[in-house]
Chains A and B, each alone.
Chain A
Amino acid sequence: MPTIITCFKWVIDEAYIRRGSSGDLDFSAVDYKISDYDRNAIEEAVKLKDVHGGTVASLTVGVPEATKGIKDSLSRGPDKAFFAADASFNNLEPSQTASLLAAVIRSFITPYDLILCGEGSSDLYTQQVGPRLAEILQIPSISFVQKVELKDGKVVAERRVEEGVEVVEAPLPALVTVLPDINVPRIPGVKDTLMASKKPVVTIKKEDLPPFPAPCMETVEMKAAKMDRSCEKFGTDTAEIARFVDVLRKKALI
């Protein structure tokens, strides 16, 4: 009966980001969500538990206000949650996140069999936390996974690479990062959400963890991506279509 850990990030929902007039980004009206691919990871962890039994723990590093994210994760099926919470756990970079996750796992969720992460987070999409975490824990990692199974103490995963699909096998404990194709995450029902508040949550303070590394990277700027094209419009009648084709011809595109 495996112990599965599923890591998630509570991120800004990019649908709410607005563009300021001078190209900077306006975060004043943003809402938060569990990063999209992490939802797939949580769903997959719960599916594995449905097959093999055992327990699923959700795990996140974030600011203390992210309690809603903890409840959200629990409403999707895990049995308990681990929450490393501190005001300074904001805008961490992958090396720091991985370090903190590893520290929590080593102190609080050992032994474990499988760690599931999303392939990348929907805010910065660096795709690093999974492999970095595996490296710190010195366990094998398999990324870009679209199908995963547990068989005889091993994890067997189908990963998507450029040339096609590889089926990879690794001994447990191991870490897997999942693609959104792996499953369709549930929309939690009302009862699931209410029951989430009754599941155990272990909140871990910064003082209970070893110090985490200083950031290696520095963000110099974050601006709205620009696509400066002024759309010249054409009508749908025959004359207008002819005019459009003529413009294309003059640009040597046809």
Chain B
Amino acid sequence: MSGIWIIAEKKEHALELLTIGRVLAAQMETKLSAFLWKDQNVPEDYIACGADEIMLAAPGSEGQSLDAFIPVIAAEAENNHPDAILFAATARCRDLAARVASRMNTGLCSSCTSLAYDAADRTIKMERLAYGGAAVQKVICKTRPVMVTIPPGTFEQAKAEAGRTGIQRELSTPAPSVLKVIEKKTKVRETKDITESRVIVAVGRGFDKKEDLDLARKLACALGGEIGCTRPISEENHWLPEELCIGLSGVQVKPDFYLGLGVSGQVQHATGIRQAKVVAAVNKDENAPIFSVADFGIVGNLYDVVPKLLEALKRV
């Protein structure tokens, strides 16, 4: 018995997991199964994108918490002995993963940023960040199943292939959980999702007041991009919504061009921009850490430099 399993609440995350799941399943010569909550997603899409098998779970009633599925997942795993279970690292699935891992006395690699099968010693080599983003930790899991949570956006979504087939089977309905969701306050997105932006202009503590952020907005507009920020701007000053906060506790962005204005570049923020293609920064402190993670730097006062940039861009 073996297999690679993927578990995610949202379809787009499941498709990302199917990408890496497909690779692992091929390398380990085993099948790929996807766990799916019936009302939320379409099994055929998952099969088209690479799943050999769909395990269908009856969705919980309104107010039901996902932890009701812990015994279901654990029971299935005990019967079918998957090699690895990949979870999307969303809030609910992280909990699920940790509690299932505990029940099964197995290890869990959280927030895994890369994983690869090593055929030489038959282990899955996993990488994750540690010490606030300052270090990269490489781990292997000695127990089975290997459990992993993978942050959304780590992998590209799998593409559908015509003619793929797979089986579907239903899982038992779990007993209700003692946890009750008594209210849901859905956040209305105030702004565009900057994880999709091609160009991002980030604002940091170098800005004196909220009104001055308009300078950054103008520049973002001129560059065809969006504004983002560092944690103090959203979490302390509340000048921008938290969905624009880039960093370890915010979003990870992968733009073609990132420009930090008055951003010092502490490691917690820098980890959010690691995957940007080109990084540039404007800061009046020539020793600001942002310059050591940038391709281009302008040491100067942003209030002086940004208007000059806007002028220069007009002439292009």
The interface of chain A, by Cβ under 8 A from chain B, is: 12, 14, 17, 25, 93-95, 98, 122-128, 130-132, 134-136, 140-144, 156, 159-171, 180-181, 213, 215-225, 227, 229-236, 238, 240-242, 244-245, 247-249, 251, 253-254
Contact = CB atoms under 8 A, between A and B. Distances in A.
Contacts of B65: 168
Contact of B183 (A98, A166, A254): A166
A80 B312 CA distance: 64
B101 A95 contact: yes
B94 interface: yes
Interface residues of B, number: 80
Given A170-B180, A233-B297, A241-B309, A223 B98 contact: no
29 contacts: A14-B134, A25-B135, A94-B98, A95-B101, A123-B130, A124-B131, A127-B110, A128-B101, A140-B179, A141-B67, A141-B99, A143-B95, A144-B91, A156-B182, A165-B184, A181-B235, A216-B143, A222-B136, A231-B291, A231-B294, A231-B297, A232-B296, A241-B308, A241-B309, A241-B311, A244-B312, A251-B278, A253-B223, A254-B313
Nearest to B290: A231
Query: DSSP majority for the A interface?
Result: mixed
Contacts of B271: 225
Contacts of B186: 163-164
B260 to A, nearest CB: 12
Contacts of B136: 221-225
B95 A170 contact: no
Nearest to A213: B105
Q: A123, A232, A253: which has the most chain B beta carbons within 10 Å?
A: A253
B99 A225 contact: no
A241 B312 contact: yes
A231 B187 contact: no
Contact of B105 (A95, A222, A235): A95
Contacts of A249: 316
Contacts of A181: 235
Given A159-B91, A170-B180, 6 more contacts: A128-B98, A213-B105, A219-B137, A231-B292, A241-B298, A249-B316
Contacts of A143: 91, 94-95
Contacts of B108: 94, 126, 128
A174 B119 CA distance: 43
A227 B131 contact: no
B162 interface: no
A236 B103 contact: no
Contact of A232 (B130, B181, B185, B295): B295
A162 B91 CA distance: 7
Q: A12, A17, A25, A245: which has the most chain B beta carbons within 10 Å?
A: A245
Contact of B129 (A17, A225, A247): A225
B139 interface: yes
Interface in B206-235: 223-224, 235
B304 A236 contact: yes
A132 B102 contact: yes
B293 A227 contact: yes
Contacts of A128: 98, 101, 108, 110
Contacts of B235: 181
Query: DSSP majority for the B interface?
Result: mixed
Nearest to B223: A254
B11 interface: no
B205 interface: no
A241 B316 CA distance: 12
A122 B279 CA distance: 27
A223 B257 contact: no
A236 B142 contact: no
Given A222-B137, A223-B135, A245 B187 contact: no
B296 to A, nearest CB: 5
Contacts of A25: 131, 134-135
Given A216-B143, A245-B316, A251-B278, A131 B95 contact: yes
Q: B98, B134, B296, B308: which has the most chain A beta carbons within 10 Å?
A: B98
B90 interface: yes
Contacts of A238: 308, 311-312
B165 interface: no
Contacts of A159: 91
Given A233-B299, A253-B257, A131 B184 contact: no
Contact of B99 (A135, A161, A240): A135
B305 interface: yes
A105 B168 CA distance: 43
A141 B304 CA distance: 51
A169 B270 CA distance: 37
B80 interface: no
Given A166-B184, A229-B295, A245-B312, A254 B224 contact: yes
A245 B102 contact: no
B131 A17 contact: yes
